Amino acid sequence: MADTGVTQLKRDGYFSAIDYWLLIPVLAVTMIGLYVLNKVLSTGFEDYPLNFYKQVGAVLIGLVLAMIIGRLELPTLRLIGFSVYGMSIVLLGLVLVDGFSMADTWGADSWLKLPVVGTFQPSELAKIGLAMVTADIFESINFKRVSALTGTGMMIATYAVPIGLIMLQPDFGTTMVIVFMFICTLFVFGIKWRYVLLGLSTAVIAIPLAWIFYFSDYQKNRILTFLYPGHDPDASYNLLQAQAAIASGGLSGSTREYPIHVPVKWSDFIYTAVSEHMGFIGTTALVALIFFFLIRSLFIASQIQPHRPAAAYMVVGLTSSLAFHYIENLGMCVGLMPITGIPLPFVSLGGTSMVVNFIGLGVMLNIAIERNLMRR
Amino acid sequence: MAYDLRKDSYYTFDHDTGKGKIYQDDQKGVVAQTKRVLASRYAVLSIIFAIVGSLIFYNTAALQLNASTAVGMIESSGIPRQQTVRAPRGDIVDTNGIPLAYSQTIPVLYLTYAGLEDDELNAMLLDLAELLNRYDIKWTSKLTNYLDWSHETCSHEPVTDISDLNALVCGEPQFMKDAEAIDYWQTDKYQLGLFAAQAGQTSTFKNDLVKPTANDVFEYLLYNRFQIEDPEKPRQYTDAEAFQIMKLRYTLMINNWLFKNGTPLEIARNVDPEVINFINEQNYRFRGVISGQDSTRVYTDEAVLASHVLGYTGRITSSQYEELKPLGYAPDAMVGQAGIEQIAERYLAGQDGVKPYNIWTVAGEAGTFFSEAIGKDPEPGYDVRLTLDLSLQKVAQTVLASTIAEIRAKVSKANKGDADSGAVVMLDVRTGAVLAMASYPYYNPNDFIQQATDKEAAKRVEANLLDGKTKPMLNRAIQEIYAPGSTFKPATSIAALETGVITPFSNTIRCVGTQAIANWTWHCLEYPTSGHGDLSLTRGLATSCNMYFYTLGNRTGIDAIDKYAGLLGLGNLTGIDLPNEAKGYRSSKETKTLLRSNPADQLWYPADTCQSAIGQFDNSFTVIQLATYAASLATGNKVTPHLIDTISTPDGVIIKDNDDLIPVKLPISAASLEAVRAGMIAVANDPEGTATSAFRNFPIKVAAKTGTAETGFEDFSSSNGLFICYAPADNPQVAIAQIVEKGAWGSNTIGIAKALLSEYFDVEDNAVAVVVPIDSAVTPATTPITPATTTAPTTQTAPITE
C-alpha cells in the first residue's frame, strides 16, 4: 500500500507538494493590496503606520496558519470544519447578546469585540464553517449514505441556524454570500439542468412581476434600503466618485496631486485606490490574478471530485464565497453591481478578515496538496 | 502513478454512485483532460467566472484608457462652496518650555443649506438628532433657553440616557424664563417675531400672534412655523421627536440669512470621529451635514496660576473687528482679550484657511467632490516663550493666596482681618525678565473659552466680571496703583544723597519723638515720647523711622525727590509687554495741581513734602514699578521689565527676541547707591531691621524694605502691606515687589518673598516664620496731634489708592 497523506509528505517534502499555482496568485494579490493600502493609509490616518503594520502582521499570521492547515490530514480537517462551524454559531449568538443595545436602524451590527483578537465578524467564520460542514452532507447524499430526504433535512438544519442568526443582525450581504455558495455547490453537486433552468426562469419571471405589481414604491424603497444599507434611489455619488477615481488612474497610476475622495477607500472601495496608484497595469494584474486563482481552485476541485467529493465541495464552497466577494466588490466599483459594504478579500484593510481568509486558503491548499500527491 | 486513498480515507468511495467514474487513470494528455474538464459543471462555473472577470476588466479599462472619460469625470462642475478653517493659535510656554496655553483641534459638525425644505428637512434633522443622541454627543439649541419640557408630571426618575427620546421629553412644554423675557422673545423680530394680539383677535397656532402658553408656542412651531406636522393629518412624529426637530429648526431659523447664503452653522462640537465617518459615508442621507474643525484654546491646570499674565481669548468685539478686519480677521474670530494673549495677538493668531466643502444636494447639483487637499490651509500662529518660570509662578500665586488667608486669620488692633487681595512681581535684575507675576484673586481663563457651552463656566465668568469689590479680572501687578509707604524711603534717601543734603559719611539726624517740622507737629510711631535718638541713614532705613525721613525730605525738597523717584522708575510706565499698564502718580507740585480742581487745594505746603518723603500723599505706583525700582537700587541700572522671551514660528525660527532690551545706567552715583543698599541690607539683617526676624537664618543675604501704607480708610479697613527686596545683597540676581491690600503690616507679607527666594535659590527649609510683633515701618498718612500754625492739609489722605 502506498504511503498516505502526511507520511508521504514527510518523505517528499511539504514544499514540493504545495500548489504554487494557487498560492502565488493569492500572495501577489496580497502584495498589491499591501502596497496600495500603505499609500492610502499614509495620507490622513492618525494611527498610521501602526494600522499598516497590523495588516502586515495579519498577513504573516494568516500565511503561517494556512501553511499549518495545509499539512493536516483530511479527517483532522473535517474536525476543524465542525469546530469552525460550531464556534461561528456560538459567536454569532454572542453578537446578538453583546450587540443587543446596538442593534438598530443604523445598519448591520455584525461586529464582535473579543479580547486579544479585537473586533471581528463571526459571519466570516460562518462562511468557512458552512462550506466545510455542508460539503460533508453533500457527499453523504452523493454516496447514498443518507437518503435524499434525510440529507435535505440535514442540509436545511445546517444552513438554518447560522443564516437565522445572521438575518437577526441583520446582515443581508453575508446571507447572499451563503446563498451564492449553496447554489454553486448545488450546481457542481450535479443538480439536473432542468432544475437549474426552472429556478432561473422562475426568478427571472417572478422578481420583476413582484417588483411591478406587488410592491409599492414605498416598499421597494424599503427593500432596497434593506438590501443595500444606505441605498438612495437618486444617489450615485459614491459610484461617481469611485469611477472618477478609477478613471484617474490611467495607464499606470494617477498623476493628480491629490487623490479623489472615495468613501471607505481602505476597504470597500480599495479597488479604486489600486487604479489610482497603479493604473490599468495594476488593476489588470489584480483582476487576472484573482480570476486565475478562482478558476484554478475550481480546476483542483474538479480533479479531486472523483476521489473525495466532500473535498471538492469544500473547495467549491470556499471558492464561490470568495468569488461572490470579488465579483460584488469589483463589480460595484465599476458600476456592474449595486453598492454594498463588502470588502475585497486579501486586499482590504482588516486583520481578522485577512486571517480568516487565509484559513480558508489553507483548507484549499490542503486539498490541492492532496490532489498533487495523487498525481505523482 | 496515483495511489488509492480509499481504504484509509475517512470517506468511503462508492463506485456505484457514478460520480467518480468521470475520472479515469488511463485518460492522460491535454486533449482528454480538456474534454473532461469541459464536460463538467466545474468548467461551466469557471467559464462564468471568466466572463465576469472579463467584464470587470473591460469596464475598468474603459474608464482608465478613455482619456475623455477621465477628464470629463474629474473636471465636471460641482458646487463651489467653502468654509473657513480656523488657524490654531500659537502656544504660550514658560521659560523652560512648559506649555501654559495651547490650541486643541476639535471636530465640529456643521449644517449647511442643501436645498432641503420642510418634510425632507425635518426627517433629516430627526435622523441627525437621533444619531447624535445615540452617541451621547451634546448638542444644544437656544430654543431650550425659552421653551422646554417640564418633568414635573413625569412618573420616572430623571433620565441620564439621552438616547431614549421619549424619556427625555415628557410632561408638557413650559417657558423657561419669566413672562417679560418670554414676551420679548416672542415679539423680537430676530427671534420669533410674533405680534401682540389686538382687541378681538384670538391667538391660535394658525396666526402670528403672541401665544399665551408654552403649549401654544409648541403647537405654533409644530404646525405653522416649521410645518413639522400637518394639522389635517394624523401625527407622524411623537412630541419627543418633534421637539428634537424643533430645536434644530430653531437654530436654522435664527441664523436663516447666513444659512441660506451657504454659511455652515455649528450644531455640535467634540463629535466622535466614528460619527463623523458615518455621516461622511452617508452624506446623501445627512444632506448638508458636514464636518469641520475648530481650534480652541486650552490653558493647562497650572496656567490658571498665571491667568493675569496669560489673559484669555474671546469673541472679537465690534471695535476690535473694525481694527483687525484689514488683517483678515473673521467677524466671529477669537482674539486675545487680556494679558499676553492680547499683547501678542498678531503673533499668536495664525492665518485662517479656506477649504471647499462637499455636500450631497438635491438633483441637478450633483457634481465633483472637491478634495479637502485643495484650498488654502490655515497657517498656525507663532509660539510665545515667556520669561516666566512656572515653578516660581506657582509659588508666587499659591503663597500669595495663602499669605492673604493667614493675614486674615490673625486679627489684631491694626489688622481688621480684611486682607483680600494682593500682587507680587519677581524680576531678574540683570535683564528685567519677569520671573513671576501673580495677582490675587485670580480667575480661570478656561472659563472664558468654555462659557459658550458650559453654563457653570459662564456663571463664574459673570461673577468675576461683576465682582466690583475684589475685581478678580484686574492684574494688580500692573493695573492698580498703590501708595508705596515706607518702600519709598530709599528713593527719598537717593534724592537727599545726590543733592548733597546728606553724604554717605555724614547723615545723622536725631529723632526726639515729637517734633515740629515744616510747620507741622509730627510723632515718631514707635517712640513718640523718647524718640530713636541719633539715627544714621542706615539705621533710619532699618528702623524706618518716619521722623528721620520727615526731616530728610523737608531738607531735600519735593522737586529733587520727584526727580530721583522718577529716575528710579516710579510713576513712569515701565513699558512691560502687557496691556493697560497704569502709570501712577509721583507727589509733586504739578501732580497736586493736576489731581485737585479747587485752586485752594492746589497750593503746595512744606508738610506735603514730609508726607511725600515717606511714600504717602499723592505717591501711588504699580507693583511692577516697585519691582523695577528695587532692581534699579540693586544694580544702578534701569531695566525694562518684560514677559515675552522669544517669539518663534511653528518651525522654531525665532523672529523676536527680547534679549536686546539692554539695561540703561542711571545717573546716580555709586556711593549714594551703596549708602542706601547698606540701609536696605540692615532692614533684613540688623537687629533693629523691620524684616530681620523673618530672614533670620536665611542662607541668602537679602536687602529689603518693608512698607505699610495708609489708605485713608483706616476707620473701616486695614492699611496696605508692601515689601520690596533684592537678593543676594552683594551680587543681586532677583528683585521682588509685593503688596497685600489691607494686609495691615508690610512685614506680614514677607512670607511671599521668602518663599520665592527659597524656590529661586533652592533653599531647603521653605517654612517661613513671619512673626513680627511690632512693625515700626508703619507710616501714618495724616494723623496730626496738634494743628500747626499753617492750614492743616486735612484732606491729604492717599487720594488714589483705595
Q: What is the pLDDT of residue B725?
A: 92
User: Taking the CB of residue B24, how many other CB atoms lie within 10 A of it?
Assistant: 11
The C-alpha angle with vertex B546 and arms to B543 and B552, in degrees rounded to 5, equals: 105
**CB contacts, 8 Å: A3 with chain B:** 3
**Given the DSSP bridges, would you call strands B92-93 and B99-111 parallel, antiparallel or unpaired?**
antiparallel
pTM: 0.57
When CB atoms are compared, the residue of B14, B64, B366 closest to A250 is B64
**Set of cell numbers at residue B104:** 486643541
**Given the DSSP bridges, would you call strands B147-149 and B313-315 parallel, antiparallel or unpaired?**
unpaired
Separation CA B690–CA B544 (nearest Å):
8
Q: How far is A258 from chain B (nearest CA, A)?
A: 6
Average pLDDT over residues A105-111: 48
Put simply, whether A283 touches B (Cβ < 8 Å) is: yes
CB contact (8 A) between residue A249 and residue B64: yes
**CB contacts, 8 Å: B359 with chain A:** none
Contact criterion met (CB below 8 Å) for B386 and B111: no
Q: How far is A109 from chain B (nearest CA, A)?
A: 13
Q: Is the pLDDT of residue B94 over 70?
A: yes
Looking up cell 515706607 gives: B486
Q: Count Cα neighbours of B789 within 13 Å in the Cβ-side half-sphere.
A: 5
φ, ψ for residue A340, nearest 5 deg: -135, 165
C-alpha distances out from residue B304 to B347, B406, B440, B465, B479, Å: 22, 22, 12, 17, 19
**Whole-angstrom Cα Rg for chain B:** 39
Q: What is the pLDDT of residue A82?
A: 92
Q: Judged by CB atoms within 8 Å, which residues 225-264 of A form the interface with B?
A: 230, 232, 234-237, 240-241, 243-244, 246-251, 256-261, 263-264
% of chain B with per-residue pLDDT over 90? 10
CB contact (8 A) between residue A309 and residue B11: yes
Separation CA B144–CA B160 (nearest Å):
17
Q: What is the pLDDT of residues A189-203, one digit of tens each?
A: 888 878 888 888 888
What secondary structure letter does DSSP report for A234?
T
Q: What is the pLDDT of residues B687-706, one digit of tens each?
A: 888 888 888 888 888 999 99
Q: How far is B43 from chain A (nearest CA, A)?
A: 8
The interface predicted TM-score of the complex, written ipTM, equals 0.89
CB contact (8 A) between residue A247 and residue B61: no
Contact criterion met (CB below 8 Å) for A339 and A358: no
**Whole-angstrom Cα Rg for chain A:** 21
**CB contacts, 8 Å: B282 with chain A:** 230
Closest CA in chain A for residue B56: A331
**Set of cell numbers at residue B133:** 443622541
Looking up cell 511653528 gives: B650
Q: How far is A243 from chain B (nearest CA, A)?
A: 7
Please, what is the average pLDDT of chain B?
Answer: 80
Alpha helix positions (H), B170-255: 179-187, 214-219, 239-254
- Distance between first and last Cα of chain A: 15
Residue contacts between A and B (CB atoms, under 8 Å):
196
Contact criterion met (CB below 8 Å) for B432 and B627: no
Put simply, whether A79 touches B (Cβ < 8 Å) is: no
Q: What is the pLDDT of residue A22?
A: 92
Q: What is the pLDDT of residues B717-765, one digit of tens each?
A: 888 889 999 988 889 999 999 999 888 888 888 888 888 998 888 887 5
Separation CA B497–CA B553 (nearest Å):
11
When CB atoms are compared, the residue of B13, B41, B285 closest to A190 is B41
> Per-residue b/e over B592-623, b at no fewer than 16 CB within 10 Å?
beeeeeeeeeeebbebbbbbbbbbbbbbbbbb
The dihedral region occupied by A174, where left means phi > 0, alpha psi between -120 and 50, and beta the remainder, is: alpha
**CB contacts, 8 Å: A305 with chain B:** 19-20, 22-23, 40, 42
| Amino acid letter, residue B73 | M
Q: Is the pLDDT of residue B640 over 60?
A: yes
Q: How far is A211 from chain B (nearest CA, A)?
A: 24
Nearest alpha-carbon partner for B434 in B636, B690, B698, B622? B622
Q: Where are the beta strands (DSSP E) in B654-742?
A: 654-657, 664-665, 703-709, 720-727, 734-741
**CB contacts, 8 Å: B41 with chain A:** 187-188, 190
Q: What is the pLDDT of residues B541-593, one digit of tens each?
A: 888 888 888 888 888 889 889 999 999 989 899 888 888 898 989 988 888 88
CB contact (8 A) between residue A298 and residue B2: no
Domains of chain A, residue spans: 24-375
Q: Where are the beta strands (DSSP E) in B495-640?
A: 509-511, 514-517, 520-523, 533-535, 637-638
Closest CA in chain B for residue A278: B64
Mutation for testing the A interface, residue in B49, B163, B357 having most A CBs under 10 Å? B49
The lowest-confidence range among A118-127, A288-297, B459-468, B637-646 is: A118-127
The dihedral region occupied by B383, where left means phi > 0, alpha psi between -120 and 50, and beta the remainder, is: beta
CB contact (8 A) between residue B61 and residue A284: yes
Q: Which residues contact A209 (CB under 8 A, 6 or more apart)?
A: none
Separation CA B393–CA B391 (nearest Å):
5
Q: What is the pLDDT of residue B365?
A: 43
